[in-house]
Amino acid sequence: MLGELPYFAVVALAAIGLYIVVMKRNLIKIAMGITLIEAGANLFLITLAYNGGDRLSAPVFTSQIMRLGEGSSYSLPTPHALTLTSIVIGVATTALLLAFIMQVYRKFRISEADELRRLRG
């Protein structure tokens, strides 16, 4: 049960984030919602790295896995790399999105998504 707790957190984060992106009109809130979904995705990846067991070794040393022997658990190395990469990408997209939102506000004095609809139809 406790081991599955992170998965519940993943679902909660993604669901709250998606709710914000779909329901909240404020553009900054939408950016925040996207960040929440992203947190959910990252937590999901990092949770996948722990495949149970109590003798978890550092992920990157293959020699250590061999030292611990057959049947011992280790934290998978790949999801850590994935999560790190996805965090970096997340920072880039969030920064870019906030810059766009700021520029939109400067040009039109609009911060609500339902008013920002010059491009439609």
Partner 1 sequence: MSGDLIDNLPAVIVAIPLLFAFATPLIGKLSVKLSRLWALLGVVVTTALMYILGWEVLSGDAVVKSYVFGAGGDGLPLIGDNPARIAFSVDGMSAFMGLIMATVAFGAVIYSFSFVRKYSGNDKFFTLLLLMLAANFGMVFTGDLFNLFVWFEISSVAVCGLTAFRSNRGEAFEAAAKYLIYSTVAGLVFLFAIGLLYGQYGHLNINYLAGAIGGQEEMMMVDKIALGLMVTVFALKAGAVPIHMATPDAYSEAPAPITAMFVTASQAGLYAVFRVSFTLYGGNLDITGNLIHIAGWVLIILGILSMFVGVTMALVQKDIKRLMAYHAISQTGYMLLGVGVGLTVLGTGKFDEFGRTAMTGGIFHIFNHALYKGLLFLTAGALIYKAGTRDLNRMGGLGRDMKFTAIFFIIGALAISGIPPMNGFSSKLLIYESVFSFNPVIGAIAMLVSLLTLASFVKVFYAAFMGPRAKGMARGEVPTTMLLGMAVLAGMILVFTFAPALVVRTLVDPAVNALAGSTGRTDASLTLLTGQGYWNAIVFGGAMVLAVIITLMVRMLGNKGTTAKGEGKKPYLFGNSTEIDGRPIVIPGSNVYWGFTKALERYYRPVEKFHSGIVNEYVFWFVSTLGVVILAMVVL
Binding site for partner 1 (CB under 8 A): 14, 18, 21-25, 27, 30-31, 34, 37-38, 41, 44-45, 48, 62, 65, 76-79, 82, 85-86, 89, 92-93, 96-97, 100-101, 103-104, 107-108, 113-114, 116-121
Question: Environment class of residue 108 by beta-carbon count within 10 Å: exposed (0-12), middle (13-18) or buried (19+)?
Answer: exposed
Between 3 and 118, whose beta carbon lies closer to partner 1? 118
Q: How far is the CB of 7 from partner 1 (least distance, A)?
A: 10
Between 25 and 55, whose beta carbon lies closer to partner 1? 25
Q: How far is the CB of 2 from partner 1 (least distance, A)?
A: 18
Spatial contact of 26 and 111, defined as CB atoms under 8 Å apart: yes
Amino acid at 107: K
How are the residues of the chain apportioned to helix, strand and coil, as percentages rounded to the nearest 5?
70, 0, 30
Tokens in use for 98? 């906030």
